[in-house]
Structure 1
Amino acid sequence: MTDLTHPPIEYQLVGLTQSGDVGDLLTGLDQKHGRIRLQALISEWLRMENLVALTGSGTSVSAGGKTMANLETAVFATIEALSDIPASISPIIEARKLAVDLAVVDGPPIAFEAWLSFVANALFVAESTGGPFAAVTWPNTPPPSVADLRWFVDRLRMAIFAECALSLADTRAETSASVIAPQLAFLSKLVARDSNLGRTHLFTLNYDTLFEQALELLGIQYFDGFTGRAAARFDPSVYGLDIYYPGEVAEGRVRRFDKFLHFYKLHGSIHWYEQGNEMRARHPDLLPFQTYATLTTAQKAEALVELVGQMPSVGILPTANKFAQTLTMPYAHLFRSLQVRLGIPQTFLLVLGYGFGDDHVSRIIENALMNPSLVMLVIEPNPHSPVIERIRRYKDLGKRAFVLCPSKDAFAAAPFKHATFDDFARTVMPDVQWLDDFLRLRRFEKQIAASGTQPDKEEANG
């Protein structure tokens, strides 16, 4: 009979047990003692010298974002609804959709990012004069012209931009860290560690700017590989810099600024754009796109038409113009940085919202498990996901790979409630005091705005 006074914990922590077999490290524990053990382990791992977090599209779903599979479907639907779609482009889209549909029989197709790279590189090859592939023809009928391919690449970029132009929810009315935007909870807890430890390194595969918005709201300083303000230019040397208090502020000695991290966008961002042979960055106004996700396919196509000619070349195709070294340098450097960070001793790798669908990224992770002092924790909301079996196999590479997922009973009772990015960030990660202080300040700001008056000095200090 189930003990209702001490129900079992809703999570599994799959990893290598003391017996040497892969199993659940939380087996037999109730909610209270299970959470104590779980948070104690996470706290210990967060105190490792080198902290690396890798996030994927799953971290943006609660803010209106899409997983890569859903993003691909939405982008294709919008492009196919455009009235001026060239006849040569439709067969390319249909071939991709067919490959996805046949995945069960023929095995998984290449990832959407990899497919985008082929399209972008096809345009680069077609535009290159004097190249060895000038006489190559496409098997499709009719073959796409250079103009057709340019049309396709531009619309792909614009459609992805519009789908990923997400805005962070207003936090001023929230009273608890358990209900605020998960990006705020996650980042505040991620950087709240001993300043004598190594800096946090956050890598993301997302195109959206939710993390940047959260970093700015929290007052967390970060370096993202770009220098400058008006039209920032990619300069990887900034990752070698840090932020310190001057001596006169820190009681006569230089001290590291606490709230700081390094931020890497492995697949680019909606605020990146190409200018000449350089990658630059400038955050766009996201207000016009707040209702985009609620539009019908036809309405999205109409909105996309209005964007034509109004937007710069958005840098969100991972290997766009692959053969132009200056443009590939951001991506090459960022992936190399991930590989280097994971090879450093005493590394904790936290993986969230990523389904191991990008072979390039997954190979880097698998190679990193050769690092004898690396610990990896994967957050997976589906206890039936193939990701779990993949982590089980990793024990042959390294004995420090774990996956946090719901118990099967908890998942059956409430699917995708536990071990999501939102749940992990808000309730599983250990709490930090300054997040509560931040929420208190935001509520106070809202009260001031609502009253339209300046606060009393005594009230402000309280």
Structure 2
Amino acid sequence: MATILPAPIEYQLIGLTEDGAIGDLLAGFDQKQGRVRLQALISEWLRMENLVVLTGSGTSVSAGGKTMANLETAVFATIEALSDIPASITPIIEARKNALFLALLEDDEPIGFEAWLSFVANALVVAESSGGPFSAVTWSSTPAPNVAELRWFVDRLRMAIFAECALSLPDTGLATSADKIAPHLAFLSKLVARDSNLGRTHLFTLNYDTLFEQALELLGVQYFDGFTGRASARFDPSVYGLDIYYPGEVAEGRVRRFDKFLHFYKLHGSIHWFEQGHEMRARHPDLAPFQSYATLTPQNKARSLVRLAGDTPSVGILPTANKFAQTLAMPYAHLFRSFQVRLGIPQTFLLVLGYGFGDDHVSRIIENALMNPSLVMLVVEPNPTSPVIERIRRYKDLGKRAFVLCPTPDAFSQSAFTHATFDDFARTVMPDVQWLADFLRLRRFEKQIASSSTSIESGTETMGG
């Protein structure tokens, strides 16, 4: 008779243990006890006065999003499949691929995709500018592109990135529990459920997509994202100093803070940002035409790219396409400054999800913030062999304040990238909240009403026919 082996322990929480060494804070606990302790620690950290969340591309993967490396690959494949690609552009892409390959062979760290985009976008700025100290750049590939070819390349890069990031939140209207709904809904509902007397949540993301905005609006969570206005919102950082309250006449005679509210920051811009004059504006585009884009072959993407994204005015996904003098101006400089300031506040809990510490600028801000003696950081990492874990180990001299939640090696070998993903953390690790259950009940009721109305209308048409 076959022996049924017990399921492996799912999680390890790596950090500084009681004996002063780096180890697993869940060691010695069984599955149930370990989860109870883990959720107790997370609940305690979420009650800290200043809650800061940083999310990266890993939080969008379940909705069809790509990590930065995969995004780069997909964008290049689409551009190379375009029928009108200039002869000078292919060598530029090939040089980038070769640089990545050599870096991999030599175990070196190449510049990231966004940094590489900065060089290309700013090369166009140089080419199109007059009166500057230089009028051209020297390319490592030949033939060198002329201004029109370079403009074509930057424009197609923008379109391709936009199309890959034009993601829509999955419809989970009939879900009966938190582990069945879109992870963004589960995550945000639990995030804003903490005591309203504590400081407001500050959610920073490096993603270009609008999945968090879609989830916030579906949940009815109010948020300030740095823009004011509706028809054509413009960036105005003063909104981050505002808050939302119930007036006295609807709050038992006294002013009371609105519960479901947070501040939202997009550090690298967004697909719905665009530059108008000297201002950054925001307008959400219709994403419905892009729902099947990610599943297409590069050839089919190339055939539909200009039709789908050609008229999109977004430059938020290429922040460095501005003039050199503007690259450190609003909104990007203000957003990064806000990130740095929030991490310097006493009693701060920094929660990091879907970010692999591949952006040197962001990582340096985090490492400097660890000098804050009352900051606690939890990094959620689905790969137990990730270099991120070794990075956190190096923070041990800063005290018991930097932790990594990741799968145990046994759990990972049995089911890779299942535990400690953004989806898993949002749905099953974070403690449940009652109002999420109420929200799901309301969504199911709305779906049932819509379905009933459709059935009645269909029946009426049949009788009339």
Which position in structure 1 is the counterpart of 2:232? 231
Letter in 1 for 2:65: G
**Residue 7 of structure 1: CA displacement?**
5.5
Which position in structure 2 is the counterpart of 1:347? 348
Q: How does 1:277-426 map to 2 (within 5 A)?
A: 277-307=278-308, 309-325=310-326, 328-426=329-427
Secondary structure of the 1:375 match is: strand
**Residue 396 of structure 1: CA displacement?**
2.3
Secondary structure of the 2:364 match is: helix
RMSD over aligned CA atoms reads 1.8
Which position in structure 1 is the counterpart of 2:461? none
Contact 1:79/1:301 (8 A) holds in 2: yes
Distance 2:451 2:247 in 1: 37
Secondary structure of the 1:102 match is: helix
Which position in structure 2 is the counterpart of 1:162? 163
Which position in structure 2 is the counterpart of 1:459? none
Cα gap change, 1:327 to 1:315, in 2 (>3 Å): farther
Cα gap change, 1:16 to 1:254, in 2 (>3 Å): same
Letter in 1 for 2:351: L
Secondary structure of the 1:412 match is: helix
1:171 equivalenced with 2:162 (yes/no): no
Distance 1:158 1:117 in 2: 16
Q: Can you list the C-alpha shifts for 1:111-133, whole angstroms capped at 9, x where unaligned?
A: 11111111111111111102111
**Residue 398 of structure 1: CA displacement?**
4.2
Which position in structure 1 is the counterpart of 2:96? 96
**Residue 452 of structure 1: CA displacement?**
1.2
Letter in 1 for 2:17: T
1:117 equivalenced with 2:118 (yes/no): yes
**Residue 309 of structure 1: CA displacement?**
4.3
**Residue 450 of structure 1: CA displacement?**
1.0
Letter in 2 for 1:430: P
Distance 1:357 1:308 in 2: 28
**Residue 179 of structure 1: CA displacement?**
1.1
Contact 2:188/2:216 (8 A) holds in 1: yes
**Residue 314 of structure 1: CA displacement?**
3.0
Distance 1:43 1:158 in 2: 42
Q: Can you list the C-alpha shifts for 1:234-257, whole angstroms capped at 9, x where unaligned?
A: 111110110000110111111100
Distance 1:186 1:213 in 2: 13
Distance 1:166 1:399 in 2: 38
Cα gap change, 1:135 to 1:161, in 2 (>3 Å): closer
Moved more, 154-163 or 323-332: 323-332
**Residue 148 of structure 1: CA displacement?**
1.5
Which position in structure 1 is the counterpart of 2:463? none
Q: Can you list the C-alpha shifts for 1:385-406, whole angstroms capped at 9, x where unaligned?
A: 1110110001123430000000
Q: Can you list the C-alpha shifts for 1:366-398, whole angstroms capped at 9, x where unaligned?
A: 000000000000000000111101100011234
Contact 2:162/2:309 (8 A) holds in 1: no
Letter in 2 for 1:183: H
Distance 1:15 1:200 in 2: 24
Which position in structure 2 is the counterpart of 1:40? 40
Secondary structure of the 1:444 match is: helix
Contact 2:82/2:302 (8 A) holds in 1: yes
Task: Give the TM-score normalised by structure 1.
Answer: 0.95
Cα gap change, 1:308 to 1:380, in 2 (>3 Å): closer
Q: Can you list the C-alpha shifts for 1:13-69, whole angstroms capped at 9, x where unaligned?
A: 000000000000000111111011000000000000000000000000011111110
Distance 2:137 2:366 in 1: 37
Secondary structure of the 1:351 match is: strand
Cα gap change, 1:351 to 1:4, in 2 (>3 Å): farther
Letter in 2 for 1:337: S
Contact 2:8/2:411 (8 A) holds in 1: no
Contact 1:277/1:327 (8 A) holds in 2: no
Distance 1:319 1:99 in 2: 21
Letter in 2 for 1:392: R
Distance 1:85 1:298 in 2: 13
Which position in structure 2 is the counterpart of 1:73? 73
1:208 equivalenced with 2:189 (yes/no): no
Which 5+ residue runs of structure 1 have no aligned equivalent? 455-462
Secondary structure of the 2:70 match is: helix
Letter in 2 for 1:20: G
Which 5+ residue runs of structure 2 have no aligned equivalent? 456-465
Which position in structure 1 is the counterpart of 2:254? 253
Which position in structure 2 is the counterpart of 1:430? 431
Cα gap change, 1:404 to 1:136, in 2 (>3 Å): closer
Contact 1:376/1:401 (8 A) holds in 2: yes
**Residue 446 of structure 1: CA displacement?**
0.7
Contact 1:157/1:317 (8 A) holds in 2: yes
Cα gap change, 1:116 to 1:356, in 2 (>3 Å): same
Secondary structure of the 2:20 match is: coil
Contact 1:157/1:316 (8 A) holds in 2: yes
Between the two proteins, the alignment pairs up a number of residues equal to 453
Secondary structure of the 2:54 match is: strand
Q: Can you list the C-alpha shifts for 1:102-150, whole angstroms capped at 9, x where unaligned?
A: 1223411111111111111111111110211115443432222121121
1:56 equivalenced with 2:56 (yes/no): yes
Letter in 2 for 1:118: F
Contact 1:65/1:164 (8 A) holds in 2: yes
Secondary structure of the 1:211 match is: helix
Distance 1:302 1:17 in 2: 56
**Residue 8 of structure 1: CA displacement?**
5.5
Cα gap change, 1:55 to 1:322, in 2 (>3 Å): farther
Distance 1:397 1:117 in 2: 34
Moved more, 154-163 or 95-104: 95-104
Q: Can you list the C-alpha shifts for 1:241-274, whole angstroms capped at 9, x where unaligned?
A: 1000011011111110000000000111111111
Distance 1:307 1:324 in 2: 32
Which position in structure 2 is the counterpart of 1:126? 127
Secondary structure of the 1:23 match is: strand
Cα gap change, 1:28 to 1:292, in 2 (>3 Å): same
Which position in structure 1 is the counterpart of 2:269? 268
Letter in 2 for 1:378: V
Cα gap change, 1:356 to 1:308, in 2 (>3 Å): closer
Letter in 2 for 1:87: A
Distance 1:429 1:102 in 2: 41
**Residue 277 of structure 1: CA displacement?**
1.5
Contact 2:170/2:182 (8 A) holds in 1: yes
Distance 1:284 1:15 in 2: 43
Which position in structure 1 is the counterpart of 2:149? 148
Q: Can you list the C-alpha shifts for 1:202-232, whole angstroms capped at 9, x where unaligned?
A: 0000111000000000000000010110111
Secondary structure of the 1:340 match is: helix
Contact 1:6/1:30 (8 A) holds in 2: no
